Structure 1
Amino acid sequence: MSAEKFPRQIVGAAIVDSLVQPTRLLAARRTAPEQFAGMWEFPGGKVEAGESDIEALHRELLEELGVTIDLGTEIVGPVPGGWPLNERAVMRVWLAEVATGEPRPLEDHDLLYWVPLAGSAELADLAWIPADRPIVSALLTQVAAPI
């Protein structure tokens, strides 16, 4: 019998071009499951038994995109465990910058796209997975430059 805990912990990264002065976000387009195919998301995945959330994030980004990352601050969600994805899963999301490798869609995605964070409606206009949309808004608030 499985001892899987609920809600299931998912981890994701808001990969930006620079942790110091971010201007672009790497969005990843899903290939599956069917209801999310063609929609955009923050890359990442499930935390496996015996892994910390941070270890899982590093593993997932290496598997999905072929990169290692430098981790920035967490985009803190509204519930324990981060951002609600559905009734069974929550996701923690961190800002991150590519440390080594060139991001490639190796697993779960068919396209990666660097989207401007400011001065364009492109980010808002992408067909984000609905649960990721509030995280996009929080990300924009968190990285907004002082006026």
Structure 2
Amino acid sequence: MPSPTRSIHVVAAVITDARGRVLLNRRTENRDMAGLWEFPGGKREAGETSAQALVRELREELGIEAEVGDWIMDVPQRYPDKHLTLEVRHVRSWKGTPRGREGQAITWVAQDKLGRYSMPPADLPVVAALREPDCYLVTPAPGEDEAGQRQWQERLQRAVSDGQQRIQLRLPLQHPRRQALIEQALRAHRRGVQWLLNRDIELARSLGVGVHLGSEQLLSLQARPLPDGQLVGASCHDLEQLQAAQRLGCDFAVLGPVQATASHPEATPLGWDAFAALRAQVSLPIYALGGMARGQVAEARRHGGQGIAAIRSLWPE
């Protein structure tokens, strides 16, 4: 009879210095996943708070007395022999000089270079949370008349001005001015925004922007459809689709509906527990979709999400 899966709560630190660099530990040869880099920390013992556990672990591993700061996220992750919850806290202040007291290598890494380091699956969503937007706007379709198109462009301008950094242009393929509206949006706001086109791989490739794959496209593709540097996102509803998105090398996925949504009233909501259970079986950054509002970013991150994706709540009125 197989032994029951262990449940472990680990607390890890994103330690940042005055230059914004992040401290990484390298796992030693006598541990599982040896050689991979990770955020320092360790298992929370019985009777400890998360802050107490992290202070103790950083003292033992790095020889510092840390001041534990803000919570960043919790990451549920399923491994063959255990079910891990990785709770991540920020540490910006400490006493002492960090050094590898357990024989491990340590290094300071600029945040935009974190993706170059091989890490355990549970640490990868943390890198995305530090580097990538926590809200993903999916635009509604513009009207086909001139007034509707002008209003759509004006609202898109407001969304960019409001700080939206990752935007999917979701224009129907049959819209008469689809490509012209897309090109106009890109000319006006090329810098500072990560653009993705809904489903249209060829147009995305030619315009040098990202693509957001529909769930029906995931299982038919054999390789990542765009080169690195052009984002690839994917809509997912179940584990098979999430695993396909990860296998293709997608940069992130959107999973839902998590809650009831007016746009798909017939869909059965997953709920947050099912969202977390699915997230635990892959290492992709995942946005929660369906009934989401900007104020639910923290809830998404309590369940391992990158943040929220939405149409109505992120589209300016």
Superposition TM-score tier, normalisation by shorter sequence:
0.7 to 0.9
Does the CA contact (< 8 Å) of 1:73 and 1:95 recur in 2?
yes
SS at match of 1:57: helix
Superposed CA offset, 1:19-62 (max 9, x none): xxx62000111014554111000111111111111100100000
- Give 1:89's match in structure 2, choosing from 84, 91, 97: 84
Q: Which runs of 5+ in 1 are unaligned?
A: 1-5, 77-81
Does the CA contact (< 8 Å) of 2:60 and 2:101 recur in 1?
yes
1:25-36 aligned within 5 A: 25-36=22-33
2:107 match: 113
1:126 match: 117
- Identity of paired residues, percent? 39
Higher relative contact order by CA 8 Å / sep ≥ 6: 1 or 2?
Answer: 1
Alpha-carbon distance in 2 for matches of 1:74, 1:140: 16
1:79 match: none
SS at match of 2:104: strand
Q: Does 1:50 align with 2:47?
A: yes
Which 4+ residue blocks in structure 1 deviate beyond 3 angstroms?
Answer: 32-35
Does the CA contact (< 8 Å) of 2:111 and 2:130 recur in 1?
no
Alpha-carbon distance in 1 for matches of 2:42, 2:71: 16
Higher helix share: 2
Amino acid at match of 2:104: D
Q: Does 1:102 align with 2:97?
A: yes
- 1:69: Cα distance to partner? 1.4
- 1:70: Cα distance to partner? 2.2
TM-score (norm 2): 0.37
1:11 match: 11
Superposed CA offset, 1:84-116 (max 9, x none): 232522010011024111111112x52111001
TM-score (norm 1): 0.77
Does the CA contact (< 8 Å) of 1:65 and 1:106 recur in 2?
yes
Q: Which runs of 5+ in 2 are unaligned?
A: 1-5, 134-162, 164-191, 193-317
SS at match of 1:135: helix
Total equivalences in the alignment: 127
- Structure number, greater radius of gyration: 2
CA-atom RMSD, angstroms? 2.1
Alpha-carbon distance in 1 for matches of 2:32, 2:119: 12
User: Structure 1 residues 51 and 102 mapped into 2: Cα distance closer, same or farther (>3 Å)?
Assistant: same
Does the CA contact (< 8 Å) of 2:62 and 2:99 recur in 1?
yes
Range 83-92 or range 37-46, more displaced: 83-92
